[in-house]
Amino acid sequence: MTDLPLGVAEIVKKTHAGRLKAVPAVEEALARIAERDPDLNAFSVVRREEAVKEAKTVDRKLKADRGPLHGVPIAIKEELDVEGCVTTFGGEGNTTPAAADGEVVRRLREAGAVVVGKTTMSEFGAFPYTESASRGLTRNPWDRTRSPGGSSGGTAAAVAAGLVPVGMGGDGGGSIRIPAACCGLFGLKPQRGRVTTAPHEHLWFTLGTVGPLTRSVLDSAVVYDVIRGNADTDRYRAGDSESFVDATTLEPGRLRIGWSTKPVSRGVQPDPIHVRAVEDTARLLGDLGHDVREIDPRYPDPTAAFVPQFFAGIRAEADDVEHYDRLERRTRETYRLGTWVTPRVLQAALRATERVSAKANRVFDTIDVLLTPAMAHRPPRAGILDGRGTVASALLAMPAIAYAALWNVAGNPAAAVPCGPAEDGLPVAVQLVGRTDDEATLLSLAAQMEKARPWPKIAQV
């Protein structure tokens, strides 16, 4: 195996040129998983025989039929349907394999990607640390004693450790950006409605989106150009946007960038490492020619919009599993604690979402991009939620979601962009938040930052 595994764009370039076939690309990913995953616990299912068989089918395609992800091994978070695999949501509530791929997985496969397995998550993605009674602890490849974040932590660990070039995650309160920040990856939460949620009408109502975690900005854009777009059943739809890949090739121009380390969540204090990362990034962006200044974003309080949708989303997913009694104790407690979210309360939360979004977006009256920490604390110890109930777990989650969850409520695109490892040896990241429907500016700016300040493409251990 090569020391530095190929990324998405590199694999596609080689497979389209005939210098690499899908089978060896997939077999190398499977070998890495077999060698390195036992002490990470990133994968819950590895499709060894099925993936090699599917790679052989991909290799038989004529050159004219090769798609934009031809031969790319990919991992899928447990909450997304993969035909023949149980959609577990990180627990034991379901036992029947999915009869068909979800729409995002179907698009990935149609583009030539090969699903090598499914990745761990906290049950229903309820908390931003990847651990559960069913799956145990997933560990950060930079430091096995630390959490990779969550809820897409299995995906993040798999990509950061070089097991696969890309994995799919979901973000209902930071669950792409938090693990990306913990593991040194690029993670973009797209505009609400940019990516289909089919076969589901929505994911946690206005909060949830689906997207990839990758080691580079370009790799993320390549995957997004495959999966974005709606199905007839989608409740939410984004506005028009240009090609994400094209956006990464364009200079962003001189942007007005406002930065702040003030958390949205009251009572949370950012780690000094994260404060310095924002300040250093602000200086970098100034050196790159942008108009950069510290601002007060005057954040609205998203609690009345976020909390009811969080409980309603968990309860809706729990209602759909085959075996409610097999859910972990904390999940069943969360379900009971959410009984107050009646249909009337949920509708009030959805109306509050519109007000919060309008207030949050006032910051873009005077700036083009908001720069903040990606999260408040350093990657915590693995097992941070051991023995904790819902309330204690929610309190422990606050530093992780302190900068992220508002933008799920508002719907704006937001990205975790790596800054490289900090003095404690763990990755650090900043968050870029864009105007409504403006993923293009974030991708262009992030690509400029990646070029000016490259980050390690695989965990340094």
Catalytic residues: 77, 151, 175
- Strand ranges (DSSP E) for 108-189? 114-119, 131-132, 136-137, 166-171, 186-189
The phi-psi region of residue 90 (left if phi > 0; otherwise alpha if psi is between -120 and 50; otherwise beta) is left
Q: How far apart are CA 54 and CA 24, in angstroms?
A: 12
CA 225, CA 243: separation in Å to the nearest integer?
A: 6
Q: Which string of DSSP letters, residue by residue, matches 151-181?
A: SSHHHHHHHHTTS-SEEEEEESSSTTHHHHH
> Cβ-count burial of 240 within 10 angstroms (0-12 exposed, 13-18 middle, 19+ buried)?
exposed
What are the beta bridge partners of residue 115?
A: 74
Return phi, psi of residue 122, to 5°.
-70, 150
The CA distance from 426 to 288, in Å, is: 26
- Residue 337, exposed/middle/buried by CB under 10 A (0-12, 13-18, 19+)? middle
CA gyration radius, the chain: 20
Q: How far apart are CA 329 and CA 35, in angstroms?
A: 33
Residue 455 in contact with residue 217, Cβ under 8 Å? no
**Strands ordered across the beta sheet of 256-259:** 43-46, 114-119, 73-77, 166-171, 209-214, 186-189, 414-421, 427-434, 369-373, 256-259, 291-294
Separation of alpha carbons 360 and 8, rounded Å: 34
Separation of alpha carbons 71 and 114, rounded Å: 6
